[in-house]
Amino acid sequence: MKKIVPVIVLALLFAIALFNDSALELSPTWSWVVTILLGLAMVVVLILSMTGKMIERRIVFLFVGISLVLPFFMNFTMPLNVSPVVQTLYDALNKLPKGSKVLASFDYDPPSAPELQPMADAFVKWAFRNDIKVIIVGLWPQGPLQANLSVEAAMADPEIAAKNPKYGVDYVNLGFQTGNEFVIQGMGTSFRAKFPTDLYNTPYDSIPLMRGVENFSNIDFVMNLSSGYPGTVEWVQIAVDRFGVPVGAGNTAVQAPQVYPYVESGQLTGLLGGMSGAAEFEKATGEAGQANTFLLSQSFAHLVVVGFILIGNVALFIGQNRRRAPLV
Amino acid sequence: MQFDIGIWIAALLTLGIISFLYKDNVIYKVSEAIFVGVSAGFWFISLFWDNIYRKFWVGVFPDPTSGKEPQYILFGGVLLGVLMLSRLFGNKAGWISRWPLAFIVGATAGLKMITFLASNAVAQINATVGNFVAAVAAPTFAGLVTASTVTIGTFCGLVYFFFSKEHKGWFGGLAQVGTWVLMITFGASFGYTVMSRMSLLLGRIDFLLSDWLHLIK
Amino acid sequence: MKREIPLIITFVAGCVFVIQYFIPHWPFNEFEQVFTDWFSIVQAFAIWLGALSLLKFSMLKIQRRQKDWYMSVIIIVGFAVMVAYGAYDGFVGMNANPAYSFRDPGTHFDWLYQNIYTPLTSTMFALLAFFVASASYRAFRARNFQATLLLIAGILVMIGRVPVGDLITQFLPESYRAANLADWIMNPLNATGQRAIMIGIALGTVSTSLRIILGIERSHLEG
């Protein structure tokens, strides 16, 4: 029996993958029913834990999986507030006059895309909509290619397509350069020395947007999207503290808490932290995107994790009280 | 019937890794072995083209039309790099790999020393004291509370990490406050770590449900 | 000389990067440029060392028919396929007109990267989501005041960072709702603790770097 169940589940999945053509969506009523059932299941876990029967870890895994999968089919919307650090970044970008040059450093790869790609998409769309020039670079090899995905997503917007942003004039992709923080250091002296050609091997001097751009002093703002090293910390240490260029950042949620001191000290002009930061930035810029869609699943998952933490602690306290209770 | 071989391979490998949640099995071990081999190959060839070819080869043998002079000094880097590979031959020959290691460690130490001092020490201390002074100069209740929290919290946190004096009496009290601040910090980091891991998992689930199973648009 | 030469190399490399920070002019900028390029090249060989060591141990495992030796075959095959296609796409792309990179969309290498490497890497990291939930249920206990602080901060941040937090706490005054509490925990409380850690690490880095450059610290030269 144990061996047959996975085989049946796999066969079902293969059949759906091969033959399914239609999306599945739960009505609001069914969405509530499913939510209540999930809540009741957590109550059952609470009762079992209170009686001393800790549930097996595979059941915990199942709860996490269900809490992430089901919201994809649900029809709930929740209000979202923009946090101060996100608002700071948005306000700084909004102050840039039309025609300003923003250096966008894409320092991440596809595994970090669920958190950072929505930020990138919202930023590029906002830039094109507001006539901000974007110079794309990458300290990670895949970064410039992720940037191209954001540009493609922006061009799919009819309003932006009507504006017809031109490559080389309104935006340019200088590609990836190896060297980590040494690249940032070198850019402080000369962009041309570090990026002699763009991603498509066009010489630096042949790119209209790069005429007159020698180093950071010709850049109005740096927008960094980072998931590790090299990333935001290096941009702050070198671009901000050595060359004085303002930098705003989007980070994965693992890295975000560690860069808050830079936000508090003013070295970093705003911060987008993880999926919620991406969703808040989408709201601030008015660019509907994937982060807001994912946030429902994120909410359910967080509730499940918090629920399990509280259940575990309730079980602990009840167990302690039982041991302390005098024998009658 | 829809069948994109790339998406199917990605989906099967994803399910193979996830199967570990049920129990360790052969499919997981195979997926893991593929991961290890492919990762090593990816970094091997990426660094060849990005670092060895683009830095060394193009530097030493530049395009004649570019007008650049050959930089023969880059042979020094390759020499150090080749010495690094001596570690493959055990301890007898491996001692020479200390030279490139010394170079890497020295360069990193030199760069990090100054940048960490400037950005992570001086600038942070400046902000801690400066913001407090600014809050006292133009006092508002919220501003004073925030600035005091930051200043006292940072100081107490640093006291906690000072192990040259025993944490007793008033000093121990400050270290205790530092511990509380650090616990809140770690709790916040834990919360964000959960958020990050869930986001990564959401990315995979989105791929399976939309690209593979076509259950969502 | 086995010990002296590495110490001299460390000293010279360290000094160049320290001095060029303050004097970014000739000749220090030239030294910095050369050393930066050398650093990139040596970095590549360091990763190659790791990859070749992996191959060496995998081949030994196959040769000695140790437990799960067939997994080592898979490792070697995966490595070989990735390197072969990366090399092929690189050489072909270099000579194509217009030239393209080995990792550009449409190349074999990119196909392997998008359909094998990325799903595997992402899923490996994503597995941690399940384990963090399970570990939280089994081990995250408020046994003392510090642990309780950690727990409360973690819960408030998790709830406050998603919209459901404000939904649950909408009956409270605005300043006490989950999102605002989470914001206050992140900045200034978390920022405070992180700053203390950051300053501590920075001071430790400065002292260790100085010891390394001056040759007092030699642990990196052992073994």
Rounded to the nearest 10 degrees, the angle between the axes of helix B169-206 and helix A274-285 is: 70
Task: Write the DSSP string, A177-223.
Answer: -SSTHHHHHHHHH-HHHH-SB-TT--BGGG-GGGTT--SGGG-SEEE
CB contact under 8 A, B29 and C192: no
Q: Which of C154, C163, C191 sits opposite A78 (nearest CB)?
A: C163
Q: Which of C50, C193, C205 sits opposite B181 (nearest CB)?
A: C193
H/E stretch holding A253? none
Assess B2–A contact: CB distance below 8 Å, yes or no. Answer: yes
Closest CA to A148 of A163, A136, A160, A132: A136
CA distance A126 to A172: 16
- Hey, what are B28's tokens? 């997981």
Whether residue A30 is predicted with pLDDT greater than 90 in this model: the reply is no
CA distance B41 to B46: 8
CA distance C33 to A13: 55
Rounded to the nearest 10 degrees, the angle between the axes of helix A290-324 and helix C145-160 is: 150
- Hey, what are C129's tokens? 């989501």
Q: How far is B33 from chain A (nearest CA, A)?
A: 19
Cα–Cα distances (Å) from C131 to A228, A315, B197, C71, in that order, read 22, 20, 10, 25
> Hunting for tokens 């689930």 — which residue is that?
B205
CB contact under 8 A, C158 and A313: no
Query: What's the DSSP call for residue A269?
Result: S
CB contact under 8 A, B157 and C196: yes
Q: What is the pLDDT of residue C1?
A: 73
* Spatial contact of A300 and A68, defined as CB atoms under 8 Å apart: yes
Q: What is the pLDDT of residue B100?
A: 92
CA distance C3 to B216: 63
Whether residue C194 is predicted with pLDDT greater than 90 in this model: the reply is yes
The answer to whether the bond into A144 is cis (omega within 30° of 0) is no
Burial of C190 (0-12, 13-18, 19+ CB in 10 A): buried
Whether residue A252 is predicted with pLDDT greater than 80 in this model: the reply is yes
CB contact under 8 A, B126 and A265: yes
* Spatial contact of C39 and B132, defined as CB atoms under 8 Å apart: no
Q: What is the mean pLDDT of chain C?
A: 92
Q: Which of B21, B55, B189 sits opposite A61 (nearest CB)?
A: B21
Interface test with A, best of C45, C47, C148, C162 (most A CBs within 10 A): C162
pTM attached to this predicted model = 0.92
Q: What is the mean pLDDT of chain A?
A: 91
Percent of residues, chain C, with pLDDT higher than 70? 99
Closest CA to A270 of A241, A250, A240, A286: A250
Q: What is the pLDDT of residue B3?
A: 81
CA distance C43 to A176: 16
Cα–Cα distances (Å) from C95 to A175, A178, B29, C89, C102, in that order, read 19, 22, 39, 10, 11
Closest CA to C6 of C221, C222, C223: C221
Whether residue A110 is predicted with pLDDT greater than 80 in this model: the reply is yes
Confidence of residue A21 (pLDDT cuts 50, 70, 90): confident
Query: What's the DSSP call for residue B66?
Result: G
Q: What is the pLDDT of residue A200?
A: 87
Q: Which residue of B has its CA nearest to C135?
A: B194
* Spatial contact of B156 and B147, defined as CB atoms under 8 Å apart: no
Interface test with A, best of C122, C161, C209 (most A CBs within 10 A): C161
The residue with greater pLDDT, A67 or A79, is: A67
Alpha helices in chain A (DSSP H): 4-19, 28-50, 57-69, 84-94, 113-129, 143-155, 158-163, 181-189, 191-194, 232-234, 256-265, 274-285, 290-324
Residue environment code for B26-38, b if the CB has 16+ CB neighbours within 10 A, otherwise e: ebbbebbbbbbbb
Whether residue A208 is predicted with pLDDT greater than 70 in this model: the reply is yes
CA distance A1 to A22: 32
**pLDDT tens by residue, A123-147:** 999 999 999 999 999 999 999 999 9
Rounded to the nearest 10 degrees, the angle between the axes of helix B5-18 and helix C118-139 is: 20
Q: What is the pLDDT of residue A327?
A: 53
Q: What is the pLDDT of residue A102?
A: 98
- Hey, what are C4's tokens? 């002296």
Whether residue A91 is predicted with pLDDT greater than 70 in this model: the reply is yes
3-state SS, residue C144: coil
Query: What's the DSSP call for residue B63?
Result: -
CB contact under 8 A, C196 and B104: no
**pLDDT tens by residue, A276-304:** 999 999 999 998 888 888 999 999 999 99
Cα–Cα distances (Å) from C192 to A254, B133, C35, in that order, read 17, 16, 37
* Spatial contact of A301 and A64, defined as CB atoms under 8 Å apart: yes
Contacting B residues, span 13-52, partner chain A, CB-CB under 8 Å: 15, 21-22, 46, 50-51
Q: Give pLDDT tens digits along chain B (217 positions).
A: 668 899 999 999 999 999 999 989 999 999 999 999 999 999 999 999 999 998 899 999 988 887 888 999 999 999 999 998 988 887 777 788 889 999 999 999 999 999 999 999 999 999 999 999 999 998 899 899 999 999 999 999 999 999 888 888 999 999 999 999 999 999 999 999 999 999 999 999 999 999 999 998 7
Q: Which amino acid is at A271?
A: L
Interface test with C, best of B38, B85, B125, B206 (most C CBs within 10 A): B38
- CB contacts < 8 A, B to C, total 405
3-state SS, residue C50: helix
- What is this model's ipTM? 0.91
Whether residue C223 is predicted with pLDDT greater than 60 in this model: the reply is no
CA distance A9 to A4: 9
Question: How are strands ordered across the β-sheet holding A221-226?
Answer: A171-176, A133-138, A101-107, A221-226, A247-251, A271-273
Q: What is the pLDDT of residue A326?
A: 57
Q: Collect all residues of chain B within an 8 Å Cβ-Cβ radius of residue C207.
A: none
Closest CA to C185 of C136, C163, C143, C152: C152
